[in-house]
């Protein structure tokens, strides 16, 4: 009886595993996929301010959203956006008023991602970004929206499949916002749903 | 009987596991037959066309008046006999347009390929500025060499060009405000990575650095900026 | 394969990082230069040095002829090919030392230059006003920061012609004297640039006028705060959204200068320069004109009080600004420069007509302006061959340019 159970468990195990093995085969994927990825984590501004550099806060939380078309080979093509606070600078001793100036950005990038080895990808993207400069507490609040036309991202990610449709992983990325030549890097946890 | 059934089921499931990774059909894809930047010899009379976008990071000096937008690029190859091929290229920003055409002579050695070529380009630009119609007509020579290395499904290509301006003419209304001939304009270096995207369609990621005095998409600034700049371009091209 | 791909990415990043614009460092003999041991020349001596010189050694580099012209603080040497020298001059006994740097304005080429006028080769004549020695400057020039090691000889050819001496031609420098993008020692639209531009041979300037949200006119070109013109700081976006106090406190131009108010800049022109013409290019929003005109009046009054023959004109680049001016009482009495049509010039009674240079020399219309007692200048002419053509064949009273030393050369060399 015990032997039968053991054999049955082995059959189920190998059967299920062999079924999964076809799904997670990273070299030959049988059809197109579409994936949606959300990521969140730490961002760090490579502080290149020449005014207010010492008073700048440069670590924030950031989020990213990506949509990819994943054909059967190594490359994927997609769009990427997100929200990144780049820096906030405390402005003191200005007519005895403490103020704050900050820059944030929403990029919209055309991104190409390439699977290097199983689960590990490199990507490069280029496109537009809306940058938001917000100044407060200096007698008046000023909100400026700036269109940045030349923006780039480079990233490496590790994505592990938990299930046929669900994947999780981590990503390291570098973003360049060209209008002010602001560079940030970000380490994010990512969650992907693949259809 | 049940023992036999169990054993058969076990072997079947095990075989599924063992052979599952080799279930694919033999893939005969060779990147050399489908790539566009890789300097191989194209199939005689074979035609390929690719469409893409060029993203440029212009130098600060040119940002004051330059029009910043991705350039749309169409690239074509046409195989000719005796290791020759013909390459054509159209790149447009609406106000600036370049059309180029030139032959290539290619050689293969193992996974390496090499070609030499000579493109002649015509640039036409038109822009209404300060209330007047400005336009430009430019002829450019691009002698070039490419060196490629291929894997089965991926190809890397290094390309270098010398840029010589045969003539530059710029008009504002009826007046020709720039007229210059025959000067060395600089050179470019590019690296292209070609890989399959979908079925046998290949996608190209390119990086090009132009070190030039006259950068044709910013022709409208030529009268006031006459200095060499590094101008990086990132390109995405899909071979159709 | 991974290595190859990583190399590709790294190469891409490395090449991107190469896009940083270079700075042109002005070479200098340093703080221990012996020039501080020398004595300055008096006005009469300076005047004797000015003129057209034939280039002996060094003509391959600087052309066959150069002109020497004193400015407020130094000696300018202008060449036909876009190169120029900015030189300090002093004498010890009867030997005159000329030391400084040369620069190609169209590229980043630069270097040191060191010349001497020997006692018997013009030194005595220049310093005493007696004798009839032929002036010869002998010395050398260097490349980049290297010591001067290439021979350079300048032989006095002739004084400036009567035509040049009698003319009231304006050499107008763009952006208060020079653009930031031309990698000059000071930022565009700064008081420091106004202070420097005479070294290029400029006799007038154009400045770009904008209005802060609290109504202070200041000089700045672009519509936004950006890293092309300013040091990177926490403020960004449209510059006219900010108060003057905010701009003054938190924005610095690319070489560290403060953005000047229009009034401070013009006061500096009157009190500290010999500039004769200021062209206020009105970049600001409607309403700028009514803030600028009272400043213009105060500055003209200040110049008159110190005996300066200074022209300060408000520019009219568009019909919007034209209407802005016409809303002002007695607008026809306000000195203005109209970039529009001749009819518009008549409508607001502009003192100066300023067409874009690409429209041609338009000698008939320029002559018409002269007949009406107006001036005509054109903007913004940069190619060397066209500057030469407009000076030789045009009738303009001045040229606005990014390369004033080229205009200076072709103006002063006229026979």
Cα torsion A192, A79, B59, C13: sign: positive
Residue A93: per-residue pLDDT? 59
- Let me know whether A63 and A128 are in one domain: yes
User: Domain for residue C267, yes or no?
Assistant: yes
Q: Are C42 and C169 within one domain?
A: no
pLDDT of residue C11: 40
Using CB atoms, list chains with 3+ pairs below 8 Å to chain A: B, C
CA-nearest residue to A153 within chain C is C13
Min Cα separation B77/chain A (Å): 23
Q: Which residues from chain B sit within 8 angstroms of residue C383, using beta carbons?
A: 177-178, 223
Residue of chain B whose alpha carbon sits nearest to that of C356? B130
Range of the domain at A152: 31-194
Note the pLDDT tens digit of each residue in C171-211: 999 999 999 988 899 999 999 999 999 999 999 999 999 99
Domains in chain C: how many in total? 2
Beta-strand pair C95-104/A166-177:
unpaired
Q: Are A28 and B13 a contacting pair at CB < 8 A?
A: no
For B157, nearest residue in chain C (alpha carbons): C8
Mutation target vs C (from B204, B223, B229, B231; most C CBs, 10 A cutoff): B223
Question: Confidence class of residue C9 from pLDDT cuts 50, 70 and 90?
Answer: very low
For residue C19, is it within any domain? no
Using an 8 Å CB-CB cutoff, list chain B residues near C222.
64
Is the separation of the CB atoms in A80 and A186 below 8 Å?
no
Specify the length of chain B in residues.
Answer: 240
Q: Are residues A43 and A119 in the same domain?
A: yes
Q: Domain-by-domain residue ranges, chain B?
A: 2-239
- Total domain count, chain A: 2
Average pLDDT, chain B: 82
Would you call A102 an interface residue with chain C, using a CB distance cutoff of 8 Å? yes
Give yes or no: residues A87 and A147 share one domain. yes
CB contact under 8 A, A11 and B6: yes
C288-322 residue pLDDT tens: 999 999 999 999 999 999 999 999 999 999 999 99
DSSP B14-65: HHHHHHGGG-SPP----GGGT-SSS--PPPTT-EEEEEEEEEE---GGGGGT
Residues C127 and C249 in one domain: no
Alpha-carbon gap: A77 to the closest alpha carbon of chain B (Å) = 8
Q: Are residues C210 and C248 in the same domain?
A: yes
Give the model's pLDDT for residue B218: 83
Interchain contact, C236 vs A103, CB within 8 Å: yes
- The reply to whether C228 touches chain A by the CB within 8 Å rule is no
Mean pLDDT of C237-263: 91
B205 in contact with A, Cβ within 8 Å: yes
Q: Which of residues 159-198 of B touch A (CB under 8 A)?
A: 195-198
CB contact under 8 A, A75 and B195: yes
Domain ranges, residue C337 = 165-412
pLDDT tens digits, one per residue of B152-202: 888 899 999 999 999 888 887 777 777 888 788 899 999 999 988 877 788
CA distances from B85 to B43, B156, C248, C409 (A): 9, 19, 62, 52
Alpha carbon dihedral A164, A166, A169, A172, in 10-degree steps, equals 110
Residue C19 to chain B, least CA–CA distance (Å): 6
Inform me whether the pLDDT recorded for C87 exceeds 60.
yes
B129 touches chain A (CB under 8 A): no
Q: Give the nearest partner residue to A133 out of C6, C236, C243, using CB atoms.
A: C236
Q: Which of B53, B57, B153 sits opposite A150 (nearest CB)?
A: B57
- Examine the domain organization and report whether C154 and C250 are in the same domain: no
Which subunits count as partners of chain B given 3+ CB pairs below 8 Å? Answer: A, C
Q: Is the pLDDT of residue B68 over 90?
A: no
B22 touches chain A (CB under 8 A): no
Closest partner residue to A7 (CB to CB) among B10, B199, B236 is B10
Query: What is the pLDDT, as a whole number, of residue C24?
Result: 65
Tell me if B61 and C11 make a contact (CB, 8 A cut-off).
no
Q: How far apart are CA A23 and CA B17, in angstroms?
A: 12
Position C21 in a domain: no
CB contact under 8 A, B197 and A75: yes
- Provide the β-strand partners of residue C88: C99
Token pair listed for C130: 């007696």
Residue B214 pLDDT class (50, 70, 90 cuts): confident
The answer to whether residues A39 and A105 belong to one domain is yes
Look at residue C385 and tell me if it is in a domain: yes
Residue of higher predicted confidence among B92 and A26: B92
**Are residues A94 and A4 both part of a single domain?**
no
Q: A45 and A110: one domain?
A: yes
ipTM for the complex? 0.76
Q: Do A139 and A57 lie in a common domain? A: yes
Residue B77 in tokens: 């190859």
Alpha-carbon distance C115 to C100, whole Å? 9
Q: Which CATH class is domain B2-239?
A: mainly beta
Residue segments in chain A with a per-residue pLDDT below the cut of 50 = 1-2, 5-29
B-chain CB neighbours of A178 within 8 Å are: 57
Same domain for A1 and A81, yes or no, is no
Give the pLDDT confidence of C64-80 residue by residue, as tens digits: 999 999 999 999 999 99
User: Do C256 and C115 lie in a common domain?
Assistant: no
Two structure tokens written together for C111: 């270097």
The token duo for B214 is: 């006259």
Say if residue C294 is in the same domain as residue C182: yes
> Is C216 domain-assigned?
yes
> Does the CB of A26 have a partner CB in chain B at under 8 Å?
no
Secondary structure of chain A in HEC code, one letter for each residue: CHHHHHHHHHHHHHHHHHHHHHHHCCCCCCCCEEEEEEEEEEEEECCCCCCCCCCEECEEEEEEEEEEEECCCCEEEEEEEEEEEEEEEEEEEECCEEEEEEEEEEEEEEEEEEEEECCEEEEEEEEEEEEEEEEECCCCCEEEEEEEEEEEEEEEEEEEECCCCEEEEEEEEEEEECCCCEEEEEEEEEEEEEC
Q: How far is A109 from chain B (nearest CA, A)?
A: 11
More confident residue, B102 or C130: B102
Are residue A87 and residue A118 in the same domain, yes or no?
A: yes
Chain CA centroid to CA C331, Å? 30
Q: C155 and C169 in one domain? A: no
Tell me which residue in B156, B173, B227 faces C359 most closely, judged by beta carbons. B173
Q: What is the pTM of this model?
A: 0.83
Contact B197 A152 (CB under 8 A): no
Return the pLDDT at B157. 94
**What pLDDT is recorded for position C34?**
77
User: CB B64 to CB C228 under 8 A?
Assistant: yes
Query: What are the chain B neighbours of A21 within 8 Å (beta carbons)?
Result: 17, 20-21
The residue ranking higher by pLDDT, A107 or B44, is A107
Look up the CATH number of the domain holding residue C261: 3.20.20.190
Average model confidence (pLDDT) across chain C: 90
- How confident is the model over B45-74, as a mean pLDDT? 81
Question: What is the per-residue pLDDT for A68?
Answer: 93
Helix %, strand %, coil % for chain C, to 5? 35, 25, 35
Confidence of residue B109 (pLDDT cuts 50, 70, 90): confident
Is there a contact between A50 and C16 if contact means CB atoms under 8 Å apart?
A: no
C344 C-beta neighbours (distance < 10 Å), count: 15
Task: Indicate whether C143 and C213 sit together in one domain.
Answer: no
Percent of chain C topping pLDDT 70: 92
Residue A38 and residue A3 share a domain: no
Confidence of residue C101 (pLDDT cuts 50, 70, 90): very high
- The three-class DSSP label of residue C220 is coil
Same domain for A88 and A2: no
Q: Are B73 and B235 in contact (CB under 8 A)?
A: yes
Domain closes at, from C122, C139, C159: C159
* pLDDT of amino acid C3: 46
């Amino acid at each position: 009886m015990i032997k039968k159970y053991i054999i049955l468990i082995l059959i189920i195990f190998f059967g299920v595993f062999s079924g999964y093995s076809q799904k997670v085969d990273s070299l030959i994927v049988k059809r197109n996929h579409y994936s949606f990825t959300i990521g969140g984590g730490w961002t760090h501004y490579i502080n290149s301010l020449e005014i207010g550099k010492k008073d700048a806060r440069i670590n924030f939380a950031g989020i990213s959203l990506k949509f990819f078309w994943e054909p059967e080979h190594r490359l994927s093509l997609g769009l990427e956006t997100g929200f990144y606070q780049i820096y906030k600078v405390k402005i003191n001793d200005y007519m005895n008023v403490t103020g704050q100036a900050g820059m944030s950005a929403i990029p919209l990038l055309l991104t190409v991602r390439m699977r290097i080895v199983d689960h590990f990808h490199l990507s490069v993207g280029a496109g537009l970004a809306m940058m938001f400069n917000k100044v407060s507490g200096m007698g008046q609040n000023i909100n400026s929206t700036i269109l940045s036309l030349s923006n780039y991202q480079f990233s490496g990610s590790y994505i592990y499949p938990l299930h046929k449709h669900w994947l999780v992983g981590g990503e390291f990325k570098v973003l360049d916002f060209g209008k002010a030549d602001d560079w940030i890097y970000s380490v994010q946890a990512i969650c992907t749903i693949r259809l | 009987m049940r023992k036999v059934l169990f054993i058969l089921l076990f072997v079947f499931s095990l075989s599924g596991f063992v052979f599952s990774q080799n279930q694919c059909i033999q893939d005969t894809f060779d990147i050399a037959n489908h790539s566009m930047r890789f300097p191989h010899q194209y199939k005689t009379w074979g035609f390929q066309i690719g469409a893409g976008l060029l993203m440029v990071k212009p130098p600060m000096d040119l940002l004051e008046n330059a029009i910043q937008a991705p350039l749309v690029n169409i690239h074509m190859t046409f195989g000719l006999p005796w290791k020759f091929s013909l390459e054509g290229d159209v790149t447009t920003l609406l106000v600036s347009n370049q059309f180029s055409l030139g032959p290539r002579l290619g050689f293969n050695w193992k996974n390496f390929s090499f070609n030499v070529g000579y493109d002649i380009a015509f640039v036409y630009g038109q822009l209404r500025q300060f209330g007047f119609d400005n336009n430009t007509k430019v002829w450019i020579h691009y002698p070039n060499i490419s060196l490629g290395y291929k894997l089965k499904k991926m190809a890397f290509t290094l390309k270098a060009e010398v840029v010589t301006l045969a003539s530059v003419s710029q008009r504002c209304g009826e007046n020709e405000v720039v007229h210059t001939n025959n000067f060395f304009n600089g050179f470019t270096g590019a690296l292209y990575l070609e890989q399959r995207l979908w079925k046998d369609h290949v996608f190209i990621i390119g990086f090009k650095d132009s070190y030039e005095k006259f950068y044709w998409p910013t022709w409208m600034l030529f009268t006031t900026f006459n200095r060499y700049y590094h101008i990086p371009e990132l390109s995405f091209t899909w071979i159709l | 394969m991974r290595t190859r791909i990583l190399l590709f990415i790294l190469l891409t990043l490395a090449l991107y990082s190469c896009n940083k614009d270079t700075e042109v460092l002005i070479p200098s003999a340093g703080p221990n230069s012996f020039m501080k041991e020398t004595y300055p020349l008096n006005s009469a001596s300076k005047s004797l040095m000015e003129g057209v010189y034939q280039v002996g050694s060094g003509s391959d580099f600087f052309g066959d002829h150069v002109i020497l012209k004193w400015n407020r603080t130094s000696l300018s040497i202008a060449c036909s090919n876009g190169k120029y020298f900015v030189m300090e001059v002093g004498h010890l006994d009867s030997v005159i030392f000329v030391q400084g740097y040369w620069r190609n304005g169209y590229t980043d080429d630069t270097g040191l230059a060191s010349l001497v006028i020997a006692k018997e080769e013009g030194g005595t004549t220049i310093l005493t006003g007696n004798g009839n020695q032929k002036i010869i400057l002998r010395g050398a020039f260097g490349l980049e920061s290297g010591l001067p090691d290439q021979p350079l000889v300048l032989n006095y050819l002739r004084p400036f012609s009567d035509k040049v001496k009698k003319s009231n031609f304006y050499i107008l420098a763009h952006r208060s004297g020079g653009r930031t993008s031309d990698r000059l020692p000071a930022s565009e639209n700064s008081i420091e640039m106004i202070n420097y531009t005479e070294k290029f041979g400029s006799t007038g300037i154009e400045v770009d006028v904008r209005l802060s949200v609290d109504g202070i006119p200041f000089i700045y070109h672009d519509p936004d705060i950006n890293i092309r013109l300013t040091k990177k700081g926490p403020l960004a976006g449209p510059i006219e959204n900010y108060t003057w106090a905010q701009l003054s406190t938190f924005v610095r131009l690319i070489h560290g200068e403060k953005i000047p108010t229009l009034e401070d800049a013009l006061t500096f022109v009157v009190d500290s320069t010999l500039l004769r013409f200021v062209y206020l290019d009105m970049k600001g929003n409607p309403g700028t004109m009514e803030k600028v005109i009272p400043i213009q009046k105060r500055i003209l009054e200040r110049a008159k009080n110190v005996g300066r023959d200074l022209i300060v004109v408000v520019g009219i680049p568009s019909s919007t600004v034209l209407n802005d001016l016409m809303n002002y009482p007695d607008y026809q009495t306000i000195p203005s420069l109209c970039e529009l049509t001749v009819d518009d010039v008549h409508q607001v009674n502009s003192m100066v007509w300023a067409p874009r240079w690409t429209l041609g020399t338009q000698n008939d219309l320029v002559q018409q302006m002269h007949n009406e007692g107006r001036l005509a200048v054109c903007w913004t002419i940069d190619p060397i061959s066209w500057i030469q053509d407009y000076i030789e064949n045009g009738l303009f009273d001045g040229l606005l340019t990014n390369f004033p030393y080229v205009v200076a050369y072709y103006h002063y060399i006229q026979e």
